[in-house]
Amino acid sequence: MNDDAKPLLAARRCLRTRHISSTCTACVDMCPEEALVVKERRLLFAASKCTGCGACTSVCPEDALIAPAFTSEALENAVRREAPQGSILFAAPHAGAAGRKILLPSLLHLSLDWLLLAIALGAKEIRLLYAQGSVDEENLSVITSRIGIVRKICDELHLPVELEAVRGAPKVDAGRRRFFSKLSAALEPQDTSSPQTQEMRSRIAKTLLEEAFVRIPEGRLRLIHALKRLLEKSGKPDSREAAKLFSAPRIDAAKCSGCALCPAVCPTGALQSQGEGGTLRLLLNAGACTGCRLCADICFMNAVTLHEEASLEEVLSTPAKTLFSRKNDARAFDTWEDKLAGMINAPVYRT
């Protein structure tokens, strides 16, 4: 396989690159080819193993894996074009789909936000067509699980939608083709991407250098936008099923030392700190929180935990709310020293 379908790893977005304390393994756990591994607490990408299925791009909480041959912009344009027609067919390669369709590298590429956006834009019938013997069929439980979540949300909101995954009748043996693609990968030159994809990779790399270091991922913004539209359509103010898609940090006041490390490392700005009048306040923008767990991973006092099923009202509201407030602690600097000493396995001396 050439490099056109293989994702680009945006290291500066990756939680493992941002801080060595991160325990995130979302892409590693999802990759069906073991092309992504964590070694010495860093994420490594073995491009020779990658088949370009896009599974990793659908689960990364920070959009750190980008498919250059099929960008989010291209997919959103396709969804916005097809959804108002009332029906959408998402098709994987070699699935034997005819007629109007949105062709994906794999159905594993479809995260929940894309399915919910399609429904919010008017789709009442969505079919996901996969090929026999393909990576999609091998990981069908992932696809059906996502379908189940979307169905529960729509049922709760009384929004009728037909959503199903269907095995196609391919003209070629997809499993055989996949086997030989993997076999030939080791024999291919390292740089086999088309000029168009090389240009797209360069454009993405330039964009990454110019973007803010603290940012809310596009996938999170898309999910919130879709849910807002679905709630408007249904006339309901809340959805317990949709709330299960979100997490939010909680802080144990008895354990917290007030070091403010958690807002300092938050990659989306969901946690922010304010200090005035000898008081530390931590603010939470629940809609910006991706559940990446970096705040909990970094906390030396184990004071931060992630609370599953955040309030949807908090998630969809714009202003940040006070999460935690306390008087400044003189021991806070000592905690920083303890944290640093533990990381370098040596005592820290003040100068």
Lookup result for tokens 């306040």: 281
Nearest Cα to Cα of residue 18 among 344, 294, 304: 294
pLDDT, residue 139, reads 95
Query: Cα–Cα distance between 140 and 165 in angstroms, integer?
Result: 9
Question: What is the chain's percent helix, strand, coil content, to nearest 5?
Answer: 40, 15, 40
Q: Contact, 194 vs 2, CB < 8 A?
A: yes
φ/ψ of residue 102, rounded to 5: -110, 110
State the pairing for strand pair 102-103/87-91. Answer: parallel
pLDDT, residue 173, reads 52
pLDDT, residue 186, reads 42
Residue count (the chain): 351
pLDDT, residue 189, reads 42
Question: Is residue 249 classed as helix, strand or coil in its secondary structure?
Answer: strand
In sequence order, what DSSP letters do the residues of 222-248 get, joined into one string? HHHHHHHHHHHHHT-S--HHHHTT-EE
Number of Cβ atoms within 10 Å of the Cβ of 83: 19
Beta strand ranges found along the chain (DSSP E): 8-9, 36-39, 42-45, 65-66, 87-91, 102-103, 125-130, 162-167, 247-251, 271-276, 279-284, 304-308, 321-327
pLDDT, residue 197, reads 64
Lookup result for tokens 């299960």: 244
pLDDT, residue 176, reads 52
Lookup result for tokens 């767990």: 293
Per-residue tens of pLDDT for the chain, all 351 residues: 456 668 888 989 999 999 999 999 999 999 999 999 999 888 999 988 998 888 999 999 999 999 887 788 899 999 999 999 999 999 998 898 888 999 998 999 999 999 999 999 999 999 999 999 999 999 999 999 999 999 999 999 999 999 999 999 755 454 555 544 444 444 444 444 455 567 777 877 788 888 899 999 999 999 999 999 999 999 998 899 999 999 889 999 889 988 889 999 999 999 999 887 788 899 999 999 999 999 999 998 999 999 877 778 888 887 888 888 888 765 555 555 555 555 555 554 444
